[in-house]
Amino acid sequence: MTEDVVELYVTLGHPGDDTFNLRMSPGIVDEVLASLDEQGIAHGGIIEMSAGPELYIEAVRVLGGAGGLAALASVIKTVVKRNEGKHFLIERDGEKIEADGYSEDAVERILKNRAEEQAARDQEWKRVLGDQDQSGDT
């Protein structure tokens, strides 16, 4: 990956923890973390074993309270503006997309879709755990 290409993916967090995972190019980590702090978004680094490209991963708690998705959208907007002129790779609906421009509506749509996917994952997790409780499994 060249320095003029920035990767920033919003992926699902663990079931039931109200988080998304931000996977990002190492070159934007400091500005993303500072922007998360400015927005008051709780976050923490994650270590993941992978043979793929090395991206920094930060869990961001944005799903449990009001305004979390809007705050995350603001973080993404800030990072994109600070890196104007660079080519962005963004993940949406499980597929990577490339963007030279920026659309607030597209980012909000991506985050809304991710929130719906996370809610479905959480519901399935509860269902599976509930089935285990009823069957006597531990």
The predicted structure's pLDDT at residue 64: 78
Whole-structure pTM value: 0.75
The predicted structure's pLDDT at residue 99: 62
- Determine the average pLDDT of the residues in 19-48: 91
Check pLDDT > 60 for residue 92: no
Domain ranges for the chain, please list them: 5-135
Kindly report, residue by residue over 39-63, the tens digit of the pLDDT. Answer: 999 999 988 776 666 889 999 999 8
Helices and strands per DSSP (H, E), number in the chain: 3, 6
According to DSSP, the β-strands at 42-46 and 19-24 are unpaired
Kindly report, residue by residue over 97-132, the tens digit of the pLDDT. Answer: 666 666 677 778 888 888 999 999 999 988 988 866
- In this prediction, residue 95 has a pLDDT band, given cuts at 50, 70 and 90, of low
The predicted structure's pLDDT at residue 102: 60
**What is the phi-psi region of residue 135: left when phi exceeds 0, alpha when psi lies from -120 to 50, beta otherwise?**
alpha
Q: How confident is the prediction for the chain on average, in pLDDT?
A: 81
The predicted structure's pLDDT at residue 1: 45
